[in-house]
Amino acid sequence: MKKLFEAWFKAKVIKVVPAPVPKPAPIPTPAPVIITDDAECELVIKYNCGEVPNSGQVTYIKRFVTASMFDGHSCVCVQYNDASQKDGERLVFKDQSRTGDWSGQLPTDISISKLVVWYE
């Protein structure tokens, strides 16, 4: 009788199957930010003498530099190296009292090997 009851009970027990967990919708990947279009120019961002990764706060496209504020820090100096000159470091902008963003056009008739943007 016990075996008969167990067989009947097993046939009547409803198996609980967990519902499938829906996969979250894929997060769209934003279009990459074009940071520089000059493959020959190294773009460096510095804050308190240390390098900062560029997540789009500085762009250098068609010799036009845009330095936006990041984490409350303002651009205070922009320098570039003129690869055609021995003493090639040139100062484009310097103003430590400035707050906010900075933008400017660099010369198009020289070869720029490095662009350094300083934040404070």
pLDDT, residue 16, reads 64
Q: What number is the average pLDDT over the span 45-58?
A: 89
User: Can you read off the two tokens belonging to residue 15?
Assistant: 């198996």
Within-domain flag for 24: no
Within-domain flag for 111: yes
Dihedral sign computed on CA atoms, order 96, 74, 62, 40? positive
Within-domain flag for 95: yes
User: Can you read off the two tokens belonging to residue 78?
Assistant: 């922009």
Condensed to tens digits (0 to 9), the pLDDT of residues 57-103 reads 999 999 999 999 888 889 999 999 988 877 788 998 898 887 788 99
pLDDT, residue 66, reads 92
Within-domain flag for 5: no
Our count of domains for the chain comes to 1
Within-domain flag for 20: no
Within-domain flag for 22: no
Within-domain flag for 4: no
Q: What is the domain range of residue 96?
A: 34-119
Q: Where are the beta strands (DSSP E) in 1-120?
A: 42-47, 50-51, 58-61, 64-67, 75-82, 89-94, 102-105, 112-119
For the question of whether the overall pTM of this predicted structure is more than 0.75, the answer is no
